[in-house]
Amino acid sequence: TKLTEEWLQNYVDDWVSFYHRQTEEGEVASYIPILKEADKNHLGISIISKNGINIHSGNVDIPFTIQSISKVFMFIVACMERGIPYVLDRVDVEPTGEAFNSIMHLEMRQVKKPFNPLVNAGAITVTSMLYGDTSDQKLEALFQLFERMLGFRPKLNKDVYESESETSVRNRAIGYYLVELGFLESELELTLETYFKQCSIEIATRDLAQMGMILANDGEDPKTGLEIIPRQVARLAKALMLTCGMYEASGKFAAYVGIPAKSGVSGGIVAVAPPRIREDDLPFLEGCGIGVYGPALDKQGNSVAGIRLLRHIAKQWDLSIF
């Protein structure tokens, strides 16, 4: 039987209302003061497949800041500007098992480069590699990438940027370690300003789903056939998402959900279900991107209801890449 979009929509609506009731369990991030204003009972999901299926369910119209999800796309932009070898000479691709803002490994004397681009130390290092003398110049390539993926230019949330910038003692501490170790390619204040701005770009679940869908399609826009991200760079980004994308819960996410994903502290998750070579009725097996928003977080900083919802969907639709 051919599954219709409406049929799929009904399923997702049911699952969202079920997991909506579990949003009570986590806590909204508070270390960036303004993020405390988020409504912890929100939960929304968007799914966009390569072959044009669009499903949106729950609180999908709430804008939120991209936060750590920007690390994936900044890494992509750095690889496109500088070339993969240049970037990987300066940042490793190993999971840490530590919190995203851990300083620990930077204090180990023998460290040659930050562990990976999806924890803060590695992400700030990647941000330092981008061309530009001002933060807006450095961010231009990121905005252009978003524009090519989404068809519009997302906006910066100035309040979130300022809130983070004013309260960023830990990221500054990481920054000073990076300077001491000689890892930064641009001046510290400029690099941090750029990093805080990239985290403050405002998006919604459908945008994350669209970005995920392009990654699922190895960087190519399925509508136009144009290459937005080089295939090799898209593959690398997905490998990093799978091994490092969910902070120190990445192993569990790979085991229980089994698809590349990246979360952010405002409660967003982008997940990528690559095409599967298998005869099946499920249209999603052609590849899809999933965007989730649920600001109540677990201790690792991942959306509680968001992860449960993804786990459920991945199981029902057999999305695991393994």
**Which phi and psi (to 5°) does residue 225 adopt?**
75, 5
| Site pattern 24..63 for ligand GLN (x: CB under 6 A) | ----------------------------------------
Q: CA 188, CA 177: separation in Å to the nearest integer?
A: 10
Closest CB to ligand GLN among residues 29, 149: 29
- 247 catalytic? Reply is yes
Footprint on residues 120-159 left by ligand GLN (CB under 6 A): 120
Q: How far is the CB of 196 from ligand GLN (least distance, A)?
A: 7
Residue reference for tokens 């252009």: 144
Could you tell me which residues are annotated as the binding site for substrate?
68, 120, 164, 171, 195, 247, 265
Q: Which residues are paired to 54 by β-bridges? A: 48
Residue with tokens 């303004």, as numbered in its chain: 34
> Should residue 117 be labelled a site residue for ligand GLN when binding is judged by CB under 6 A?
no
Whether 31 is catalytic: no
Task: Confirm whether 161 is a catalytic residue.
Answer: no
Alpha-helical segments (H) within 5-83: 5-20, 70-82
Q: Is 68 in the site for ligand GLN (CB under 6 A)?
A: yes
By CB under 6 A, name the one of 54, 101, 300, 320 that touches ligand GLN: 101
For the bound state, the minimum distance from the C-beta of residue 276 to ligand GLN, rounded and expressed in Å, comes to: 29
**Residue 100 near ligand GLN by CB under 6 A:** yes
Q: Which of 46, 171, 210, 217 binds ligand GLN (CB under 6 A)?
A: 171
207 binds ligand GLN (CB under 6 A): no
Please give the Cα distance from 243 to 241 (Å, whole number).
Answer: 6
- Amino acid, single-letter form, for residue 148: R
Which of 171/194 has CB closer to ligand GLN? 171
What is the spatial distance between Cα 264 and Cα 297, in angstroms, rounded to a whole number?
10
Q: What angle do CA 60, 64, 66 make, to 5 degrees?
A: 115
d(CA 75, CA 129): 10
Element (H, E) at 95: none
Do residues 100 and 119 make contact, with C-beta atoms less than 8 angstroms apart? yes
Cβ-contact 135, 189 below 8 angstroms: no
Query: Residue 175 CB, nearest distance to ligand GLN (Å)?
Result: 11
Distance of alpha carbon 108 from alpha carbon 306, whole angstroms: 34
Tokens 């000073």 -> residue: 176
Question: CB 199 → ligand GLN: shortest distance, Å?
Answer: 4
- Least distance from ligand GLN to the Cβ atom of residue 54, Å: 26
- Name beta bridge partners: 270: 262, 291
218 touches 234 (CB < 8 A): yes
Cβ 242 vs Cβ 116: under 8 Å: no
Catalytic residue of the set 46, 49, 57, 68: 68
Assess whether 77 carries a catalytic annotation.
Answer: no
| Interface residue with ligand GLN, options 216, 301, 305, 310 (CB under 6 A) | 301
From the list 161, 177, 247, 293, the catalytic residue is: 247
State which of positions 183-202 bind ligand GLN (CB under 6 A).
199
Which residue do the tokens 């969910």 mark?
A: 246
Q: Annotate each residue in 236-275 with x if it binds ligand GLN (CB under 6 A) or - if it does not, as one string.
A: ----------------------------xx----------
Q: Which is the catalytic residue, given 60, 77, 257, 265? A: 265
Q: Which residue is nearest to ligand GLN (CB)?
A: 68
Provide the annotated active-site residues. 68, 71, 195, 247, 265
Contact residues: ligand GLN, CB under 6 A: 67-68, 100-101, 120, 164, 171, 199, 264-265, 301
